Structure 1
Amino acid sequence: MPALPRFPSRTAPLVLLLTACLAWTAQAQPRAITPRGPLDAAEQNNISVFKRVSPSVVHITTLDMQRDFFSLNVEQVPRGTGTGFIWDEQGHIVTNFHVIQGGDAARVTLADQSSYSARLVGAFPDRDLAVLRIEAPRDKLQPIPVGSSRELQVGQGVYAIGNPFGLDQTLTRGIVSALNREIESVNRRAIRGVIQTDAAINPGNSGGPLLDSAGRLIGVNTQIYSPSGASAGIGFAIPVDEVNRVVPRLIKDGRFIRPALGVSAGTAQLHQALQLPRGVAIVGMGPRSPAAESGLQAFHRGRDGRIVQGDVITALNDEPIKDLDDMLALLEKRQVGERVTLTLWNKGKTRKQAVVLGASSD
């Protein structure tokens, strides 16, 4: 049998290259897609909550007014960003007070990226809450579903939607880590009953909603605990029951008018020096205040310079009071003109006194 002819030696490299290319092409084809089953229940709920609630979440940009040095034209310059949510069909937007604090103006960007100038309706720094209003078409305003924080339990699943670091419409998931925490507001008042969560909350999430697994508002994300400034898995939210109590009054009156007794409180040092019980030592009263008209007695100095014993408020409607923050928190739950019963301590004796609440001047 005759021998097969050989390729000339100069063509061998070309043949080898062609063979290699064909083999590489065969191996570089796209991989076949592996079919998957349906999404699990948790994934489906994540998607459902985001689709239903994200249209209610807004991006807030606070603005400073600055005058150009040469032209003297006034322009608005971005100061900071945060999150808020649509409260009702009238265009009221709820957010944290610290999100808009110090700004000259604000713009609200909806989920569809339409943007509107906002005006401040009212604010309550003691609870770090503020209400803005925008003039937007009704069909663009989807109020957030409101739940209850009274029934929350540690371990419940929660969601946070916000704009961390300016990134719009971000969803994070976690649980209720703890209840009844206490944090400090921007004006150093204690905010009690706060929800702690491990859902990732970062700068820019402030003012955004914390949701339960049904997609209902259960809190307003307000602070994080973080040595680095980024999420460390410890976030705090103002409970929705508090929000639902404060916001309608901000919309109605433009500010939170706290019922008041018209008293000035003594310091912790006074309590310690005079060995007084826990409560609020009255060291001053307005001349026509509810406290004065009800016959309450204030601590004062007598003619000989000695301190004359006054009343210490130890309870309101039988709810114990340990300090001024406690008393103010209880008063906030009442209405101007409402009659309450105070428990008073004076020289070791206790009595009860009915008082009709007036309005605070702050």
Structure 2
Amino acid sequence: MDVSRSRRARSRRARSRRARSRRAPAFPSALRTAVPLTAAVILGAALLSGCNDSSTPAEAAASRTKDASGQRQVAAPATAGDLQAAYQRVIKDVLPSVVQIETGGELGSGVVYDDKGHIVTNAHVVGNAKRFRVTTAGGRQPFTATLVSSYPDQDLAVVKLDKVPPYLKAATFGDSKKVEVGQIVLAMGSPLGLASSVTQGIVSATGRTVSEGQGGGGTGATIANMVQTSAAINPGNSGGALVNLNGEVIGIPTLAAADPQLGGSAAPGIGFAIPASMVKTIAGQIVRYNKVVDSGRAALGITGRTVVDASYRPAGVAVVEVRAGGAADRAGIRPGDVIIRVGDDDITTMTSLAEVLASDKPGQKTTVTYARDGAERTAEVTLGEQ
């Protein structure tokens, strides 16, 4: 009996081992932890989205290609492979519309604006040059181009190819109102002279007002409503394209944030692009009129300089000159007055004044507080146009 029970026990253990050996083996822990988090999150979202629908993932994705207004929308990729394919489609579609621009020893990027050879770029890319060498994506021989007009106040310019190649492809510009934080974007251009390079990131903020420095080729412009992105923006990217996954240019990369604690070096992951709406407004006028006739930028109509207090701290903007018939002139502001507040915003420097005005519109009414002969005064001002 004891031997028989022992044999039966061994037989049961053997059958148990065989049953376990037929089960699917578990992944090693190292392999499990190596599964890309992005892929896991995207796949999980796709599976969850099908919980209330009996359709296949492809059918579910197709059903989400139109929003409530009937406008076509790009469905979220179901897998990491789909996301990669989306990147590659956008790059293949848009990169031919991004060019490299050379101005003597300087180099930047540009975006094909139309099929007539107009290319929009940054004013600080063209600088004082009038003639340029433009290399298209995949092109071996550069084309020559001529400056149409530059508008440094918005850091935008348009150049025109002297000879338009038949394969030139104009970019599609998107709607700035639809740009949202979290959208995936690609930055295309020639960073550090590496033509047709692409970096990726997201829209990390919108509505930023940013002032450029005048050193290092900057125009000193103060630009409102800029798109902030985590996509790498390096020297040479200026004038290129910030593109969404619909293949639309939503901005022109212009500058990267500088970190004073790093000696003014670029802060990683913080770049800024001029919004597509402003690009179309300025470039459209230059193409049509060879100049900007309606800037849309508010102005006081003064020439000023920053003044400091007894402790050498910036304390306001001294009015040096008042343009006849301008907003300040009509409000009774005179040379020698020191502007210390516009609306509810304190003014300490020319930059702070420019940033406040950049967020306003021509024709808008505001209050300007200024000092004259040691006394503080306030004037109602209807802003003019720059």
Shorter chain as denominator, the TM-score bin is 0.5 to 0.7
Between the aligned partners of 2:356 and 2:152, the Cα distance in structure 1 is 17
Q: Which residue of 1 aligns with 2:308?
A: 269
Give the letter aligned to residue 191 of structure 1.
Answer: I
Q: Which residue of 2 aligns with 1:214?
A: 246
Between the aligned partners of 2:209 and 2:365, the Cα distance in structure 1 is 28
Between the aligned partners of 1:176 and 1:48, the Cα distance in structure 2 is 20
1:95, 1:129 within 8 Å by CA — same for their partners in 2?
yes
SS state of the match for residue 232, structure 1?
strand
Q: Which residue of 2 aligns with 1:197?
A: 229
Q: Judging changes above 3 Å, is the alpha-carbon distance between structure 1 residues 314 and 48 closer, same or farther for their aligned structure 2 residues?
A: same
Q: Judging changes above 3 Å, is the alpha-carbon distance between structure 1 residues 296 and 57 closer, same or farther for their aligned structure 2 residues?
A: same
Q: Which residue of 2 aligns with 1:11?
A: none
In the TM superposition, 1:7-156 aligns within 5 A as 40-63=81-104, 79-103=105-129, 105-113=131-139, 115-137=142-164, 139-156=166-183
Match status 1:296 vs 2:332: yes
Displacement, 1:244? Answer: 2.4
- Equivalent pairs counted in the alignment come to 286
User: Which residue of 268, 272, 285 maps to 1:236?
Assistant: 272
Between the aligned partners of 2:280 and 2:201, the Cα distance in structure 1 is 23
Q: Judging changes above 3 Å, is the alpha-carbon distance between structure 1 residues 266 and 84 closer, same or farther for their aligned structure 2 residues?
A: closer
1:297, 1:311 within 8 Å by CA — same for their partners in 2?
no
Between the aligned partners of 2:130 and 2:381, the Cα distance in structure 1 is 46
1:30-49 alpha-carbon deviations (Å, 9 max, x no partner):
xxxxxxxx972101101110
State the identity %: 33
Q: Judging changes above 3 Å, is the alpha-carbon distance between structure 1 residues 46 and 324 closer, same or farther for their aligned structure 2 residues?
A: same
SS state of the match for residue 287, structure 2?
helix
Displacement, 1:261? Answer: 4.6
Give the letter aligned to residue 184 of structure 1.
Answer: E
Displacement, 1:184? Answer: 1.4
1:35-75 alpha-carbon deviations (Å, 9 max, x no partner):
xxx97210110111011111111121223xxxxxxxxxxxx
Q: Judging changes above 3 Å, is the alpha-carbon distance between structure 1 residues 145 and 271 closer, same or farther for their aligned structure 2 residues?
A: farther
Choose between structure 1 and 2: higher helix proportion. 2
SS state of the match for residue 119, structure 2?
strand
TM-score under structure 1 normalisation? 0.65
1:202, 1:224 within 8 Å by CA — same for their partners in 2?
yes
Gaps of 5+ in 1: 1-37, 64-78, 301-308
Between the aligned partners of 2:346 and 2:136, the Cα distance in structure 1 is 43
How much is the aligned-residue C-alpha RMSD, in angstroms?
A: 3.8
2:189, 2:196 within 8 Å by CA — same for their partners in 1?
yes
* More displaced stretch, 108-117 vs 343-352: 343-352
Between the aligned partners of 2:122 and 2:90, the Cα distance in structure 1 is 23
2:119, 2:160 within 8 Å by CA — same for their partners in 1?
yes
Between the aligned partners of 1:214 and 1:321, the Cα distance in structure 2 is 41
Between the aligned partners of 2:245 and 2:88, the Cα distance in structure 1 is 11
Match status 1:177 vs 2:177: no
Give the letter aligned to residue 128 of structure 1.
Answer: D
Q: Which residue of 1 aligns with 2:286?
A: 250
2:116, 2:164 within 8 Å by CA — same for their partners in 1?
no
User: Which residue of 322, 342, 352 maps to 1:314?
Assistant: 342
Gaps of 5+ in 2: 1-78
Q: Judging changes above 3 Å, is the alpha-carbon distance between structure 1 residues 236 and 311 closer, same or farther for their aligned structure 2 residues?
A: closer
Displacement, 1:341? Answer: 3.4
Q: Judging changes above 3 Å, is the alpha-carbon distance between structure 1 residues 129 and 271 closer, same or farther for their aligned structure 2 residues?
A: farther
Between the aligned partners of 1:49 and 1:182, the Cα distance in structure 2 is 28
Between the aligned partners of 1:260 and 1:353, the Cα distance in structure 2 is 10
Match status 1:329 vs 2:370: no
Q: Which residue of 1 aligns with 2:55?
A: none
Displacement, 1:232? Answer: 3.4
Displacement, 1:353? Answer: 5.0
Q: Which entry has the higher C-alpha Rg, 1 or 2?
A: 1
Q: Judging changes above 3 Å, is the alpha-carbon distance between structure 1 residues 41 and 204 closer, same or farther for their aligned structure 2 residues?
A: same
